[in-house]
Amino acid sequence: MALQVNINDILSQLYHQRGVVEFLFANRENITVNELLSREDISAEQYQKLKSLDLIYEYENIVSLNDAVVSMFEDFMEIGEVTPGFINDYINELNRHIRFYQEAREMRFLRSIKKYLKRINATLTREIIKLQKNVDDTYKNESNYRIKLQKLEDYREKRDTIIEFIKKTSDVVEDTRALFTLTNDSELYGIVSALKASLIENLDYLIEIQTDITDFINKIMFQIDVYKKAQRLKEIKEHGSLYYRTNFKEIVSNINTLKHNGHKTPKTKIAIEFLYTDDGHVLCKRIAEKYKLTRLMVRGIAGKMAGDFKDKGLEQQIKLDTEKLVERFLVQTKANLFEYLMDYKFPKAIGNVTFEDRLSLFVEIAMEYQNDLDFKYRLQYYDYNDTGSEVKKRLGYTLILPLKDKAKKKEKVKKEEG
Amino acid sequence: MLAEDFNLPKQTHDIFGIMARGNFISSNGSKDGMNRLYDIVNNPDNFDRLQAYFNVIRYNIERGNNFFYFSKLHEPNSELEKKLERFERYIDIVDLLASMDNKITIGSRFRPSEIAEECNANVRLKQKLQKIPLYRSETLHNKVREICDLMSRDSYLEMEDEKTESYKVLDSYAYLLDVINSVAIYEDTGGGSDDAQGLIYN
């Protein structure tokens, strides 16, 4: 190492260059020095500093992070290759310290024992999670089937190794039970029982992983077998004896998928009314374009909008409001229907409502809501001007009042008597 | 009986739309939420309801390994000629995919250009590709493209990225493999068959 380093230096360097470290971690193996230096967050000087601390190194112009740093990150994030070797080291260390402790009952050995027991527990679980992840990844993402098979076989071996370690660990724990009881240390007791529980659990996971691996390998083998068969069939086909040397015809005739039996998508005819709507028009246009049918395209163009288009819209809107209007009329007592409508302040959105509109509304309401209205068969008169002329006119109208509750009741009584 | 009586999932329409066109619903398809539709059909409650519902209109849901498709009830299978022709072509295609250095199977991703490139470099593959009966396409690349297009239309492949033209092999591909696997070869000429099997390790 070029310089005397301490944790503080390393941490602060990693922290200051965290952008670069992240970048290098994500793009391992293919970043050149120039590429790195062209980034804005690192200067040549800073680069030299990182290099001098051995946090990064370059080889043939390719920059990479120090392996120790990479593996630290990988360990932390539980990614990367499965490395059961660690567990072995820990078990050896554990045994060593147990021997020390048997020699001299000193706290410092006990502390190490606890440390390694905890580490073994954590590492086992982590390795198993990694193993599961890697097996899955390999099956789903490894595109070369030979490598895929090889990798899966490797994982199978790793799994066996981990199982061995689990056995080893539980043996160690069993053998030293007497010793551990002697220590009378409650923390140690807790650690050991947690370890025992997770050993059993981990064995279960490993069995599951084994079934996964076997399943995956079988699937790949099946696919390879079928591929071999496909190639043989092709061969036979080339020789022109596909129908004579195989039961191809029989198999194919039993195929029941819709597509291969000439079943067309169920078609429903479009309702003619739909074609008259706006959506239908768009559809017609699309079809016309597709088949270059000018006839349909010409038909598609809508005529000029009528001059009284707006008024029509207005009428419709008033119609929509009628029910509310009648409700309001029925609860008031001051005015009769005609007066009410003439003085009614329609919402601004509707715009100006002319005398004629109000008159037609009057007739409409009188006809549609006659059951709710009290028709007094008396005429009243109303003076008005035709829109746009000075001539005074007089209109006679029937007096219509809201039906009062009493009147309703009377009617009911009468009906019941009748 | 009303549609409501079946208590159907609300995606029934989409499911029907795909399967009635003769297409497969695969668990690893991602277009138009296909994997979600797969999960819905795969749910045992839903499956029974959908099956009962579609049986009324004489469609039957068939279950494969990670995929579903429709068959027609009480109807004789027809169009044998066309079917034979189609499946002969499928054999050609599967054979081609099987002969790639990087065997393309379920879950594989590939680009037509990769296949074309490999075919260009290997005379045997080139011949295989050229012998697959298709209509247009002069260049190898276009031919592979056409095959991919055909396979996507039959919902065995899915185009994942239009820009890079990358395809993914769907679970429904297992259907083709199953069909091929079920064909029995009458072993009357023992000698030649071993040579044929040896071909896989090219």
Determine the pLDDT at residue B194: 43
Q: What is the DSSP letter of B123?
A: H
- Report mean pLDDT in 10-residue bins for chain A, 418 residues: 69 84 78 80 83 81 82 74 80 89 84 87 86 82 77 89 89 85 83 89 88 86 85 84 83 79 70 81 80 61 61 55 78 81 75 77 82 80 71 80 62 49
Residue A184: how many other CB atoms lie within 10 Å: 8
Both B84 and B66 in a single domain? Answer: no
| pLDDT tier at B122, thresholds 50, 70, 90 | confident
Q: Which residues contact A368 (CB under 8 A, 6 or more apart)?
A: A322
Q: Evaluate whether residue B198 is within a structural domain.
A: no
B1 in a domain, yes or no? no
Residue located via tokens 């027609």: B72
3-state secondary structure of A142: coil
Question: B120 and B52, same structural domain?
Answer: no
All residues of chain B having their beta carbon less than 8 Å from the beta carbon of residue A266 are 20
pLDDT band at residue B78 under the 50/70/90 scheme? low
CATH number of the domain bearing residue B175: 1.10.10
The tokens for A162 are 């981990």
Which tokens go with A52?
């001098």
Report yes or no: B95 and A231 within 8 Å, Cβ to Cβ: yes
- B56 found inside a domain: yes
Can you give the residue range of the structural domain that contains B146?
A: 80-183
Joined tokens for residue B49: 């309801």
Domain membership of residue B188 (yes or no) is no
B31 and B15 in a single domain? The answer is: yes
Residue B200: inside a domain: no
Residue-level pLDDT at B191: 44
Enclosing H/E stretch for A314: helix A309-331
DSSP 3-state assignment of B138? coil
- Give per-residue pLDDT as tens, A89-127: 888 988 998 888 888 888 888 888 888 888 888 888 888
Sheet holding B67-72, edge to edge: B25-26, B67-72, B59-64
**B72 → closest Cβ in A222, A229, A258:** A258
Tokens of A315: 């009428």
- B17: which 2 tokens? 């739309």
Same domain, B111 and B55: no
Q: Is the dihedral of CA A96, A102, A103, A106 positive or negative?
A: positive
pLDDT of residue B3: 59
| Higher per-residue pLDDT: B78 or A181 | A181
The radius of gyration of chain A's CA atoms, rounded to the nearest angstrom, is: 45
Q: Are residues B93 and B174 in the same domain?
A: yes
Mean pLDDT of chain B: 81
- pLDDT tens, A355-387? 777 888 888 888 888 787 888 777 888 887 766
Of A220, A224, A266, the CB nearest to B20: A266
| Whether residue B167 sits in one domain with residue B88 | yes
The pLDDT, as a whole number, for residue A293 is 66
By C-alpha distance, the chain B residue nearest A250 is B183
Number of domains present in the structure of chain B: 2
B177: in domain = yes
> Hey, is B130 helix, strand or coil?
helix
**pLDDT at residue B193, rounded to an integer:** 42
B157 and B97 in a single domain? The answer is yes
Q: Does A242 touch chain B (CB under 8 A)?
A: yes
User: Average pLDDT for residues B75-81, to the nearest whole number?
Assistant: 72
- Domain membership of residue B193 (yes or no) is no
Q: Is the pLDDT of residue B196 over 50?
A: no
Q: How far apart are CA A343 and CA A358, in angstroms?
A: 10
The gap from C-alpha B72 to its chain's centroid, in whole angstroms, comes to 19
Q: What is the bridge-based pairing of β-strands B157-161 and B166-169?
A: antiparallel
Smallest CA–CA separation between B110 and chain A, in Å? 9
B196 contacts A246? CB cut-off 8 A = no
Q: Domain spanning A7-77 has what CATH number?
A: 1.10.10
Is the pLDDT at B186 greater than 70? The verdict is yes
Size of interface A-B (CB pairs under 8 A): 145
State how far Cα A159 lies from the chain centre. Answer: 34
- What pLDDT does A262 receive? 67
Does the ipTM surpass 0.95?
A: no
pTM: 0.53
Quick one: pLDDT at residue A321?
67
**Amino acid found at A153:** E
Q: Domain boundary at B72, B101, B117, which?
A: B72
> Quick one: B36 and B121 in the same domain?
no
Distance between CA atoms of B150 and A373, rounded to whole angstroms?
72
Q: Is the pLDDT of residue B200 over 60?
A: no
* Domain contains B114: yes
Predicted confidence at residue B202, as pLDDT, reads 35
- CB contacts, 8 Å: A136 with chain B: none
Name the closest residue on chain A to residue B100, using Cα atoms.
Answer: A144
